[in-house]
Amino acid sequence: MTSDNSKTLRVAFLPATQDDIPSIIKLAQQIWRAYYPAIIGLAQVEYMLAQRYTEKEITSQMQAGERYYVALGDNQMVGYASLRADSDAWFLHQLYVLPSHFGFGIGTGFLHFLFHEAGYRTIRLQVNRKNIRAINFYFKNGFVIERCIDVDIGNGYYMNDYVMVKKFNQ
């Protein structure tokens, strides 16, 4: 893959298995602690990691039909994503890439892989309203803001998000 700044990296996008869960958890901790404290604060980052990134939680999500995927580059996992089919669309629950691997086109490549996996049906996602980099990434890839939501996630924390949507001609 190449991007505008001429960085090159071979990346493979693959379905994740149960065996990938510990690596996904480790990667999530690395990404979230590097990227999100400036947006939501370290205390909320740690709370969300403890709530969402356990082997039991991810196993439960997989068993309930959420599809996990990994991005492999440089002989390591450099990103992960998950999709779940809803009644009228797909919901992109997660799409994360190591900040050290920004600029390689991994996010865009991963997103296009996920479009294919979703059968080019409508995809929705939530993104923090202060995450300008991600919001612009999704705009660049054809998403629009559908609505604004505030979700109480417990312990006094909220997700202050945009719901974004990309519709395909079907």
Digit-coded pLDDT (tens) for 77-108: 999 999 999 888 999 999 999 999 999 999 99
Residues in CB range of 132: below 8 A, 6 or more apart: none
Q: Model confidence at 7, in pLDDT bands (50, 70, 90)?
A: low
Closest CA to 123 of 111, 135, 140, 105: 111
Calculate mean pLDDT across residues 115-134: 96
What pLDDT sits at residue 170? 59
Task: Give the pLDDT of residue 169.
Answer: 79
Q: Can you give the pLDDT at residue 44?
A: 96
Pick the CATH number of 12-166 from 1.10.150.170, 3.40.630.30, 3.40.50.300, 3.20.20.150: 3.40.630.30
Domain boundaries, the chain: 12-166
* Residue pLDDT, tens place only, 25-74: 999 999 999 999 999 999 999 999 999 999 999 999 999 999 999 999 98
* Region 114-123 average pLDDT: 95
